[in-house]
Copies of this chain bind each other. A is one copy, B any other.
Amino acid sequence: MAKQIRTIGVLTSGGDAPGMNAAIRAVVRTALGNGVKVRGIRRGYSGLLNEDIIDMTARDVSDTIQRGGTILQTARCLDMCTEEGQQKAAAICKKYEIDGLVVIGGDGSFKGARALSNLGVNTIGIPGTIDMDIACTEYTIGFDTAVNTAMEAIDKVRDTSTSHERCSVVEVMGRDAGYLALWCGIANGAEKILLPEEHDYNEEQIIQDITENRKRGKKHYIIINAEGVGDSANLARKIEEATGMETRATILGYMQRGGSPTAKDRVYASIMGAKAVQLLMEGKTNRVVGYKHGEYVDFDIDEALDMQKAIPAYQYDIAKGLSI
C-alpha cells in the first residue's frame, strides 16, 4: 500500500529559472488544499543539510507567481553528491517528518532526488532550467521566459545594428544545449546561428557568408552565438578586419536568468507543481514530471536521466533558409 504523505518538502536547486515560484506556489497550495503540510527548504540541498527549513502557508506564496527568481533561493551543494551527504539529508527529512520531497531543478538535482528516494524519502522532480537540456521533457521551467528576454534584447541590438549597418555578434546562454540560440536565431531573423550541437564552427565560412549577404543587399547581419561556441569578442574583431563591416559583440549574460515569467512558464510550472503533489499523494517516488507529445507525463528518474535529446535539425535548416 502506498505510503500516506502527511508533510511535503519543496526546494529549488541548481541555477534559478523564471517560473520556479509558480511551481513552488502550486506545490504549496495543492498540498495544503489536500490536507498535507508543507515545509519550504531554503537554498536547495545546501539548505536541507543546514536545516534551513520553514513552514509554509497558502499566504506565503501569495503575490509570488509573477516574480522572477526563486523565493526559496538556491545554491550549489557538493556535499549532496556524496553518500554521507545524502544520508544526512535523508535523516534531516525524517527529523522534519518530510515524507515527500519535490525537487525543482535540472538533471543534477534529480540525482539527489534519486538518492533520497533510495533512502526512503519519496521524491518527485520538476524540470527547471532555462537551458531546456533535460531529455525527458519538451518543456523546462524558465526556457520560455529566457528566450523571450534574449529575443527582446536582440530586437534592440538589431535596431542599432540596422541604423549603423553593422554586424552584431550576440552571445546567449546555453553552453551545452543550443535551444536558446536556435530559438533566438529564428525569432530574431538572425543571419547565422552558432550551436554547440553543430560542431562546425568555422570563422572563414562566417566571414564568407557575410560578404555574400552584403552583396545580396542585407543591411545588417546578426550572429547568434551560443555561449562557448565561438569567442564573441574575437569573432567580432576578425569579422571587422576581414570584411570592413563595423562589428560589435554583445554578451547578454545573467539578465537571461531573471525576470517575471511568461504565461507559458507560469501555467506549465503551476500544472507541474500540482502534478508533483498528486504523484506524491498516490505514493509515487523517484519520478520526474515532464511535458511530452502534448501531455503532462512522468518518468522514472533513472529512465529520464538515461534519455538523450537532440536539437531538431530541420528547424536549424529552416532558420538557414529564412535568412536569405
Inter-chain CA distance A294–B153, complex, in Å, is 28
- A183: chain B residues at CB < 8 Å are 263, 267
Rounded to whole Å, the gap between the CB of A31 and the closest CB of chain B is 10
A217 to B144, CA, bound (A): 33
Copies per complex of this chain? 4
Query: Cβ of A36 < 8 Å from any Cβ of B?
Result: no
Minimal Cβ-Cβ distance residue in B for A274: B318
C-alpha gap A265/B133 in the complex (Å): 21
Q: 8 more A-B contacts (CB under 8 A) besides A183-B267, A186-B270, A186-B271?
A: A12-B163, A15-B160, A15-B164, A63-B162, A65-B187, A138-B294, A156-B254, A157-B258
Q: Is the CB of A156 within 8 A of B267?
A: no
Interface window among A85-93, A115-123, A192-200, A245-253: A245-253
Number of interface residues of A (CB under 8 A): 85
CB closest residue in chain B, given A251: B251
Out of B18, B159, B217, name the residue touching A59 (CB < 8 Å).
B217
Whole-angstrom distance between the alpha carbons of A16 and B43 in the complex?
Answer: 35
A73 CB contacts on chain B under 8 angstroms: 162-165
Chain B hits for A226, CB < 8 A: none
10 A-B residue contacts at CB 8 Å? A33-B321, A62-B219, A63-B162, A65-B187, A68-B156, A144-B264, A148-B263, A252-B255, A267-B315, A274-B318
A324 and B255 within 8 A (CB): no
> Which of B30, B63, B159, B219 is close to A321, meaning CB atoms less than 8 Å apart?
B30
A interface secondary structure, majority: helix
Q: Contact mask A209-232 → B, CB, 8 Å, 1/0? A: 000000011110000000000000
Nearest CB to that of A71 among chain B residues? B163
- Check A58 for interface membership: any CB of B closer than 8 A: yes
Return the chain B residue nearest A20 by Cβ. Answer: B163
A279 close to B (CB within 8 Å): no
Interface residues of A in 165-193 (CB under 8 A from B): 165, 168, 183-184, 186-189
B270→A75 contact, CB < 8 A: no
Residues of chain A from 1 to 55 with CB closer than 8 A to chain B in the complex: 12, 15-16, 18, 25-26, 29-30, 32-33, 43
What is the bound-complex CA distance between A267 and B33, given in angstroms? 38
**Is there a chain B Cβ closer than 8 Å to A69's Cβ?**
yes
Task: Give chain A interface residues in 58-111, CB to chain B under 8 Å.
Answer: 58-59, 62-63, 65-70, 73-75
Q: List, in ascending order, chain B residues with CB within 8 A of A157's CB.
A: 253-255, 257-258
